């Protein structure tokens, strides 16, 4: 075994490697946890806020359409009506058929 003391260049190299590792770690943290832009991220990808707004608009539109009456095909006599009313009419027709 050698009783030689560690040389200065190996200590310097170790120090540079340790500082470099720390810098790489900080860069990875900054990239991973940086806040995202509030704009569309590209090719139809949307942020959470944009998806929530779109979902609220969709639900409002579906509620409006599902609660009203409208013609789907007036020539044939097909209408759109609220689901509760459709259930009532279907039960009434079913009871009439069973009698």
Share of residues in the chain with pLDDT > 90 (%): 42
CB burial readout 6-34, b (16+ within 10 A) else e: eeeeeeeeeeeeeeeeeeeeeeeeeeeee
What CA–CA distances, in Å, run from 90 to 15, 60, 61, 81, 84?
Answer: 81, 26, 25, 12, 10
Q: What is the pLDDT of residues 10-53, one digit of tens each?
A: 888 889 999 999 999 999 988 888 776 555 556 677 788 888 99
DSSP H or E segment with residue 85: helix 83-98
Q: For position 43, what pLDDT does the model report?
A: 67
Q: Which two tokens stand for residue 2?
A: 């050698």
């Amino acid at each position: 075994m050698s009783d030689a003391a560690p040389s200065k260049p190996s200590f310097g190299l170790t120090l540079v490697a340790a500082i470099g590792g720390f810098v790489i770690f900080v860069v990875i943290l900054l990239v991973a946890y940086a806040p995202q832009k509030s704009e569309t991220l590209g090719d139809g990808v949307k942020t959470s806020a944009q998806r929530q707004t779109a979902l609220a608009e969709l639900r409002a539109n579906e509620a409006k359409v599902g609660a009203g009456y409208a013609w789907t095909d007036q020539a044939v006599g097909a209408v759109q009506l609220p689901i509760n009313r459709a259930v009532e009419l279907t039960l009434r027709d079913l009871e009439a058929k069973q009698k």
